[in-house]
Structure 1
């Protein structure tokens, strides 16, 4: 009898399942995004039909909505994997979310300090260069303003976060 109840439950779950396109539309993501998340292990279909179509239940919809909300908070897919991994191990995930959030805030504070410093230096150059005449047309300098910056000056590729 247990098998009969299980098969009825299984049939009911299958009848309520959604194809990948339906899930994508309901959640507001592209079908390719769902496939990508599946390749990362963030989501998996409940089953595949005989013809290979992915079918998802409401748990997958809920998980995709969670992923979207986490991304709105600037959580990376790797960080979301960590949170979901904690949950999958049967542990509460909120402590992991708090830990990641603390790291994000610390990182943002460092970025803000760098950007404020950069703004100050750029403002100083703006004032310094405000009344500097234009280079002569056809002159050798690409732009004497930039070329005049000393290479070891605090404004360099490291403070701009870029490279060559």
Structure 2
């Protein structure tokens, strides 16, 4: 089996060398064997693992969550249901974030419509006044 240097692994998996070192320190990828020269020897399995990590990140999983899922792969008693539980948790997180984003959008839209005359000086801007009032209200002043 052909081994890869850290640079070759980085190119193949499309990540930075520093990312590989970081993932190794975090235990997301196992410490590879080293040549007599001390250089790491990575395998195609490491490429696949890095691609798994990148994809999982792209769909919203944190590195801690990814570490849990990687552990499920090797845990003897783990089931597909264990993985599904993590997906369900992530879906709930996303739903909460969507609700928050929609509230933010509604508030910003309302603030934007409060500005009837965009040519007015900024010191008279109702948007800034509203933000000021809200900040004062939050701080209990």
Task: Place the TM-score, normalised by the shorter chain, in its bin.
Answer: 0.7 to 0.9
Cα distance change of structure 1 residues 123 and 44 upon mapping to structure 2, 3 Å threshold:
same
> Unaligned stretches of 5+ in structure 1?
1-12, 158-164
Query: Counting helix residues as a fraction of each chain, which structure ranks higher?
Result: 2
Counterpart of 1:82 in structure 2 is 68
Counterpart of 1:41 in structure 2 is 27
Larger Rg: 1
CA RMSD between the two structures: 2.9
> Unaligned stretches of 5+ in structure 2?
none
Aligned residue pairs, count:
138
For residue 56 of structure 1, give the secondary structure of its aligned residue in structure 2: coil
Query: Which of 124, 129, 143 is 2:110 aligned to?
Result: 124
Counterpart of 2:47 in structure 1 is 61
Counterpart of 2:129 in structure 1 is 147
4+ long deviations beyond 6 Å: none
Distance 1:143 1:93 in 2: 58
Q: Deviations over 1:59-99 (max 9, x none)?
A: 22221121122122121111110111222323446433322
Q: Deviations over 1:84-115 (max 9, x none)?
A: 12223234464333222212221222222222
